[in-house]
Amino acid sequence: MIKINEHFAELPASYLFTEIARRVAAFQSSEPKADIIRMGIGDVTLPLPKACTDAMHKAVDEMAVRESFRGYGPEQGYEFLQTKIRDYDYKPLGVDIDLDEIFVGDGAKSDTGNIGDILSSDNKIAVTDPVYPVYVDTNVMAGRAGELLPTGCWSNIVYMPVNAGNGFVPELPKEDVSVIYLCFPNNPTGTTLTRKELKVWVDYALEHKALILFDAAYEAFITEPDVPHSIYEIDGAKKVAIEFRSYSKTAGFTGTRCSYTVVPKDCVGYGKDGREYQLNGFWRRRQCTKFNGTPYIVQRGAEAIYTDEGQRQVKDIVNYYLQNAKIIRNALTAKGYEVFGGINSPYIWLKTKGEGSWEFFDYLLHEKHIVTTPGVGFGPSGEGYIRLTAFNTHERTREAMERI
């Protein structure tokens, strides 16, 4: 008899965006003429940089001719892209990464989701609260979460609240944890850690032989000098951290799919007998067995980000969204709201003046015709907050702020 993975049955239906869609649809049918501005979902709107589309056209042409056609590529990505990543994303930070520590993938969601394959199911997981749901759901699927509590939290996961009270800096867990998910600049709060604050976590991981899964998907939005672009800027991090990066928000690749994951050869895990194993080899084996590489055409598109025009075009895109973030921050601050994020991030995290997340969501939808995301949807500590995104046009973003 075919036995299912019972943990899938324990996972409640993904509620947040479905519920948002339901409420928006209900409002639309009651007020069909309302001009709704969408600032809820974290998807980009600007087209791909010209450098990327030029490179992809060229790659498509190569694939049309026998002499330049490419079949199976290396599962861990082409060296032409790995080299650019090493030289442009890490060398300027003073971080030396070897090519065989870079794994090109099809998205940070896949990689942060699949990384658990190489870890035992009895690791103790810690996440910030609020949190990107993929970290939690994938650990539920792998049987690391325990039971779902009435709070919406899982009994065996350690939640570390981040909120206005602690300046969005998570406290070290009191219990011994072995896998820590950190996403900075943070989704959903848009907040960051300084080098000194991040060092606390690297030191914890070194001391406890824990692993940090560092999601740097929003790295390109960093504007402040004291915010680390990579966890490897912190001494010792190579021994305890895997870093995930993505071209999704940087270069508009949400529908084009390219990312990469760095697994340093110094980074180790432990067997039951205490023996050390390189996680690099494990992840390589995982990728070679269950993945066949990112499309050649897409990798050529990503490579073009690192040309001079590519770098300029990507900066323009990021700046466009950051200007929206500034418009939102300024407008809401002027209106007396406490807002966070939006300086090193496309996300603005607004603290309501006492209303619950869903209550304030409904207020903005019904009174201002603006769609946002209720903070509580990302975890209990998100209650009393909403998330706004800077991915709309300048015009629509300004209009939304005028409505508020």
Instruction: For the segment 62-81, give every residue that binds a second copy (CB under 8 A).
Output: 63-66, 69-73
* Exposure string over 35-65, b if 16+ CB within 10 A, otherwise e: eebbbbebebeeebbebbebbbeebeeeeee
Q: Which of residues 178-197 bind a second copy (CB under 8 A)?
A: 178-179
Q: Which of residues 194-233 bind a second copy (CB under 8 A)?
A: 208-211
243 binds a second copy (CB under 8 A): no
Residue placing its CB nearer to a second copy in the complex, 119 or 332: 119
Q: Which residues pair with 244 in a beta bridge?
A: 215, 261
- Written as six digits, the tokens of 283 are 């992840």
- Which listed residue (204, 282, 337, 358) binds a second copy by CB under 8 A? 282
Collect all residues with Cβ–Cβ distance below 8 Å to 378 and sequence separation of at least 6.
16, 129, 130, 131, 132, 133, 188, 387
277 binds a second copy (CB under 8 A): yes
Q: Which of residues 95-114 bind a second copy (CB under 8 A)?
A: 106-107, 109-110, 113-114
Q: Which of residues 130-169 bind a second copy (CB under 8 A)?
A: 134, 137-138, 141
Q: Which of residues 9-28 bind a second copy (CB under 8 A)?
A: 9, 11, 14
Tokens 């589309």 label which residue?
53
Q: Which of residues 44-63 bind a second copy (CB under 8 A)?
A: 44-48, 50, 53, 56-57, 60-61, 63
Is residue 302 within 8 Å of residue 258, measured between CB atoms?
yes
297 binds a second copy (CB under 8 A): yes
DSSP state of 297: H
271 binds a second copy (CB under 8 A): yes
3 binds a second copy (CB under 8 A): yes
255 binds a second copy (CB under 8 A): yes
DSSP 303-358: HGGGSHHHHHHHHHHHHHHHHHHHHHHHHHHHTT-EEEE-SSSSEEEEEPSS--HH
254 binds a second copy (CB under 8 A): yes
Dist CA 266 CA 222 (whole Å): 27
Dist CA 388 CA 378 (whole Å): 13
Residue placing its CB nearer to a second copy in the complex, 192 or 256: 256
- Written as six digits, the tokens of 265 are 């050869």
294 binds a second copy (CB under 8 A): yes
Minimum Å gap between C-beta 338 and a second copy is 30
Q: Tell me, by CB under 8 A, how many residues bind a second copy.
A: 81
3-class DSSP state for residue 262?
strand
